[in-house]
A and B are shown apart, each in its own frame.
Chain A
Protein backbone atom coordinates (compact mmCIF):
# COMPACT_ATOMS: atom_id res chain seq x y z
CA UNK A 1 0.00 0.00 0.00
CA UNK A 2 1.05 3.55 -0.64
CA UNK A 3 1.38 6.29 1.94
CA UNK A 4 1.48 10.04 1.41
CA UNK A 5 2.85 12.37 4.07
CA UNK A 6 2.37 16.10 4.32
CA UNK A 7 4.39 17.35 7.25
CA UNK A 8 3.03 20.92 7.36
CA UNK A 9 -0.48 21.03 8.86
CA UNK A 10 -0.71 24.78 8.31
CA UNK A 11 1.22 27.53 6.58
CA UNK A 12 0.68 31.26 6.36
CA UNK A 13 2.31 33.71 3.96
CA UNK A 14 1.75 37.24 2.76
CA UNK A 15 0.05 37.94 -0.52
CA UNK A 16 2.47 37.97 -3.49
CA UNK A 17 5.02 35.82 -1.68
CA UNK A 18 6.18 32.43 -2.87
CA UNK A 19 5.31 29.40 -0.78
CA UNK A 20 6.35 25.75 -1.01
CA UNK A 21 4.24 22.89 0.32
CA UNK A 22 6.00 19.61 1.08
CA UNK A 23 4.91 16.08 0.27
CA UNK A 24 6.67 12.76 0.53
CA UNK A 25 5.33 9.38 -0.43
CA UNK A 26 6.22 5.76 -0.11
CA UNK A 27 5.55 3.17 -2.78
CA UNK A 28 7.09 0.15 -4.42
CA UNK A 29 5.45 1.04 -7.71
CA UNK A 30 7.44 2.43 -10.61
CA UNK A 31 4.61 3.81 -12.74
CA UNK A 32 2.29 6.23 -11.03
CA UNK A 33 0.81 9.69 -10.97
CA UNK A 34 1.17 12.39 -8.35
CA UNK A 35 -1.27 15.22 -7.83
CA UNK A 36 -1.91 18.33 -5.87
CA UNK A 37 -5.56 19.05 -5.17
CA UNK A 38 -6.94 22.26 -3.71
CA UNK A 39 -9.98 22.31 -1.43
CA UNK A 40 -11.24 25.86 -0.80
CA UNK A 41 -13.92 26.63 1.81
CA UNK A 42 -16.51 25.70 -0.81
CA UNK A 43 -15.09 22.16 -0.22
CA UNK A 44 -14.88 21.33 -3.95
CA UNK A 45 -11.77 19.27 -4.73
CA UNK A 46 -9.95 21.01 -7.56
CA UNK A 47 -7.00 19.55 -9.42
CA UNK A 48 -4.07 21.97 -9.30
CA UNK A 49 -1.32 20.03 -11.02
CA UNK A 50 -0.43 16.51 -12.10
CA UNK A 51 2.91 14.76 -12.53
CA UNK A 52 3.55 11.47 -14.29
CA UNK A 53 6.31 9.52 -12.60
CA UNK A 54 8.03 8.50 -15.83
CA UNK A 55 8.44 12.14 -16.86
CA UNK A 56 11.55 13.74 -15.44
CA UNK A 57 10.45 17.26 -16.31
CA UNK A 58 8.64 19.02 -13.49
CA UNK A 59 5.04 19.95 -14.24
CA UNK A 60 3.99 23.60 -14.26
CA UNK A 61 0.59 25.30 -14.46
CA UNK A 62 0.84 29.08 -14.51
CA UNK A 63 1.85 30.11 -10.95
CA UNK A 64 1.99 26.52 -9.75
CA UNK A 65 4.97 24.25 -10.21
CA UNK A 66 6.29 21.10 -8.65
CA UNK A 67 9.68 19.79 -7.64
CA UNK A 68 9.48 16.07 -8.30
CA UNK A 69 12.35 14.02 -6.91
CA UNK A 70 11.55 10.41 -7.76
CA UNK A 71 14.52 8.82 -6.00
CA UNK A 72 13.79 10.76 -2.84
CA UNK A 73 10.02 10.18 -3.26
CA UNK A 74 9.39 13.85 -2.79
CA UNK A 75 6.79 15.99 -4.56
CA UNK A 76 6.61 19.59 -3.39
CA UNK A 77 4.29 22.31 -4.72
CA UNK A 78 5.51 25.85 -5.26
CA UNK A 79 2.99 28.67 -5.55
CA UNK A 80 4.46 31.87 -6.93
CA UNK A 81 2.95 35.34 -6.51
CA UNK A 82 0.41 33.94 -4.05
CA UNK A 83 -3.10 35.39 -4.14
CA UNK A 84 -5.87 35.59 -1.55
CA UNK A 85 -7.84 33.07 -3.58
CA UNK A 86 -5.10 30.51 -3.02
CA UNK A 87 -6.24 30.18 0.59
CA UNK A 88 -7.38 26.56 0.89
CA UNK A 89 -6.50 23.07 2.03
CA UNK A 90 -3.97 21.48 -0.29
CA UNK A 91 -3.77 17.73 -0.63
CA UNK A 92 -0.99 15.73 -2.16
CA UNK A 93 -2.21 12.50 -3.75
CA UNK A 94 -0.82 9.35 -5.36
CA UNK A 95 -2.35 6.95 -7.84
CA UNK A 96 -0.80 3.84 -9.26
CA UNK A 97 -0.91 3.85 -13.06
CA UNK A 98 -3.83 1.63 -13.93
CA UNK A 99 -5.67 2.46 -10.74
CA UNK A 100 -6.06 -0.42 -8.38
CA UNK A 101 -7.43 -1.17 -4.97
CA UNK A 102 -6.09 2.00 -3.39
CA UNK A 103 -7.58 4.47 -5.85
CA UNK A 104 -6.20 7.90 -5.04
CA UNK A 105 -4.22 7.94 -1.80
CA UNK A 106 -4.25 11.36 -0.14
CA UNK A 107 -2.05 13.02 2.42
CA UNK A 108 -3.59 14.69 5.48
CA UNK A 109 -3.42 18.09 3.85
CA UNK A 110 -1.82 21.47 4.45
CA UNK A 111 -3.99 24.44 5.32
CA UNK A 112 -2.54 27.38 3.40
CA UNK A 113 -3.52 30.87 4.46
CA UNK A 114 -2.65 33.85 2.29
CA UNK A 115 -2.62 37.03 4.35
CA UNK A 116 -3.46 40.40 2.74
Chain B
Protein backbone atom coordinates (compact mmCIF):
# COMPACT_ATOMS: atom_id res chain seq x y z
CA UNK B 1 0.00 0.00 0.00
CA UNK B 2 1.58 3.25 -1.22
CA UNK B 3 -0.61 5.46 0.97
CA UNK B 4 -2.04 7.26 -2.06
CA UNK B 5 -5.80 6.85 -2.39
CA UNK B 6 -7.71 7.28 -5.60
CA UNK B 7 -11.47 7.21 -6.13
CA UNK B 8 -13.37 5.88 -7.91
CA UNK B 9 -11.48 2.75 -8.94
CA UNK B 10 -13.74 2.21 -11.93
CA UNK B 11 -15.99 4.60 -13.81
CA UNK B 12 -18.13 4.06 -16.89
CA UNK B 13 -19.73 7.02 -18.60
CA UNK B 14 -20.92 8.25 -21.97
CA UNK B 15 -19.38 10.56 -24.53
CA UNK B 16 -19.94 14.22 -23.83
CA UNK B 17 -20.18 13.72 -20.09
CA UNK B 18 -18.00 15.14 -17.33
CA UNK B 19 -16.30 13.21 -14.53
CA UNK B 20 -14.17 14.03 -11.52
CA UNK B 21 -11.37 11.82 -10.26
CA UNK B 22 -10.12 12.26 -6.75
CA UNK B 23 -6.73 11.69 -5.19
CA UNK B 24 -5.59 11.81 -1.58
CA UNK B 25 -1.79 11.91 -1.33
CA UNK B 26 0.31 10.19 1.28
CA UNK B 27 0.25 11.89 4.64
CA UNK B 28 2.78 14.72 4.58
CA UNK B 29 3.23 14.77 0.81
CA UNK B 30 2.76 18.22 -0.70
CA UNK B 31 3.11 17.34 -4.36
CA UNK B 32 0.52 15.58 -6.51
CA UNK B 33 1.00 14.37 -10.07
CA UNK B 34 -1.58 13.09 -12.54
CA UNK B 35 -0.75 10.57 -15.26
CA UNK B 36 -2.82 8.97 -17.99
CA UNK B 37 -2.11 5.42 -19.12
CA UNK B 38 -3.63 4.26 -22.39
CA UNK B 39 -2.76 1.42 -24.74
CA UNK B 40 -1.72 3.65 -27.62
CA UNK B 41 -0.05 6.54 -25.75
CA UNK B 42 1.47 4.66 -22.83
CA UNK B 43 2.00 6.63 -19.61
CA UNK B 44 1.66 10.35 -20.12
CA UNK B 45 2.32 13.07 -17.57
CA UNK B 46 -0.66 15.41 -17.31
CA UNK B 47 -0.08 17.93 -14.55
CA UNK B 48 1.59 18.52 -11.18
CA UNK B 49 0.50 20.52 -8.16
CA UNK B 50 2.65 21.48 -5.23
CA UNK B 51 1.09 22.79 -2.03
CA UNK B 52 -1.97 24.03 -3.86
CA UNK B 53 -0.23 25.64 -6.81
CA UNK B 54 0.18 24.32 -10.31
CA UNK B 55 3.87 23.53 -10.78
CA UNK B 56 4.21 21.76 -14.09
CA UNK B 57 1.96 20.96 -17.00
CA UNK B 58 2.41 18.14 -19.44
CA UNK B 59 0.19 16.71 -22.16
CA UNK B 60 -3.08 17.77 -20.61
CA UNK B 61 -5.97 18.56 -22.92
CA UNK B 62 -7.89 21.81 -22.57
CA UNK B 63 -10.99 19.75 -21.74
CA UNK B 64 -9.17 18.52 -18.65
CA UNK B 65 -8.46 20.54 -15.54
CA UNK B 66 -7.16 19.85 -12.09
CA UNK B 67 -6.77 21.50 -8.74
CA UNK B 68 -5.25 20.83 -5.36
CA UNK B 69 -7.21 21.85 -2.30
CA UNK B 70 -5.96 23.24 1.04
CA UNK B 71 -6.12 19.77 2.58
CA UNK B 72 -3.80 18.71 -0.28
CA UNK B 73 -6.18 16.32 -1.96
CA UNK B 74 -6.47 16.80 -5.69
CA UNK B 75 -9.18 16.42 -8.29
CA UNK B 76 -8.87 15.85 -12.01
CA UNK B 77 -11.87 17.03 -13.99
CA UNK B 78 -12.47 15.55 -17.42
CA UNK B 79 -15.18 17.13 -19.55
CA UNK B 80 -16.76 16.66 -22.98
CA UNK B 81 -15.51 13.11 -22.80
CA UNK B 82 -14.54 11.27 -25.95
CA UNK B 83 -13.99 7.58 -26.59
CA UNK B 84 -10.25 8.21 -26.69
CA UNK B 85 -10.28 9.43 -23.12
CA UNK B 86 -10.82 5.88 -21.93
CA UNK B 87 -7.71 5.13 -19.91
CA UNK B 88 -6.25 4.44 -16.51
CA UNK B 89 -5.61 7.67 -14.62
CA UNK B 90 -2.93 7.58 -11.97
CA UNK B 91 -2.24 9.96 -9.19
CA UNK B 92 1.17 10.04 -7.55
CA UNK B 93 2.53 12.02 -4.65
CA UNK B 94 5.86 13.08 -3.22
CA UNK B 95 7.10 15.12 -0.30
CA UNK B 96 8.95 17.74 -2.27
CA UNK B 97 8.22 19.64 -5.45
CA UNK B 98 10.57 17.43 -7.41
CA UNK B 99 10.18 14.27 -5.40
CA UNK B 100 12.50 13.09 -2.64
CA UNK B 101 15.36 11.74 -4.72
CA UNK B 102 12.88 11.63 -7.54
CA UNK B 103 10.63 9.01 -5.94
CA UNK B 104 6.92 9.21 -6.55
CA UNK B 105 4.32 7.05 -4.82
CA UNK B 106 1.48 5.94 -7.05
CA UNK B 107 -2.13 5.21 -6.28
CA UNK B 108 -3.95 2.23 -7.77
CA UNK B 109 -5.46 4.31 -10.52
CA UNK B 110 -8.96 5.13 -11.70
CA UNK B 111 -10.14 3.14 -14.72
CA UNK B 112 -12.30 5.37 -16.93
CA UNK B 113 -14.36 3.82 -19.70
CA UNK B 114 -16.17 6.12 -22.10
CA UNK B 115 -18.91 4.47 -24.13
Contact = CB atoms under 8 A, between A and B. Distances in A.
Interface of A: 33, 35, 37, 42-47, 50, 52, 91, 95, 97-109
Contacts of A37: 106
Contact of B102 (A33, A102, A108, A109): A33
A103 B109 contact: no
B30 interface: no
Interface residues of B, number: 25
Interface stretch (B21-29, B55-63, B66-74, B77-85): B55-63
B29 to A, nearest CB: 14
Nearest to A37: B106
A91 B43 CA distance: 9
B8 interface: no
B58 A44 contact: no
Interface string B81-115: 00000001010100001110111111011000000
Nearest to A109: B42
A104 B88 contact: no
A50 B103 CA distance: 8
